[in-house]
Amino acid sequence: MQSEYLYLWWDGEPPYDVIRGHVSFDDAISLLEQEGIPTEDYDWHHAHDYARFVPRQGREYDMEFVRAGSPGPGAFPITLMEVQ
């Protein structure tokens, strides 16, 4: 699977950056830099998880990003990058 940065709209400040696929810390930093996200002066932490997009209640065409916690139907691997 090709890793890619996921552009998500958040209500408020994003809690973390999300990359589709389980990637190493160095690959994640490289991908963030390719997207123009500054990385040098921050203490980045990364974690692997699973997520899925589900229909958002009350909104016919909106999908919501939900962390799944484990593999399962519709779930895909993600790497979370968070500044501590």
8-19 pLDDT, tens digit per residue, is 988 888 889 999
- Any bridge partners for residue 67, and if so which? 51
Bigger pLDDT: 58 vs 80: 80
Q: What is the pTM of this model?
A: 0.86
Q: Which residues contact 14 (CB under 8 A, 6 or more apart)?
A: 8
**Does residue 58 register a pLDDT over 80?**
no
Q: Which phi and psi (to 5°) does residue 80 adopt?
A: -100, 130
**Chain-centre distance of CA 51, in angstroms?**
8
Provide the pLDDT for residue 75: 95
Binned at pLDDT 50, 70 and 90, residue 20 comes out as: very high
**Does residue 78 register a pLDDT over 80?**
yes
Please give the Cα distance from 48 to 23 (Å, whole number).
8
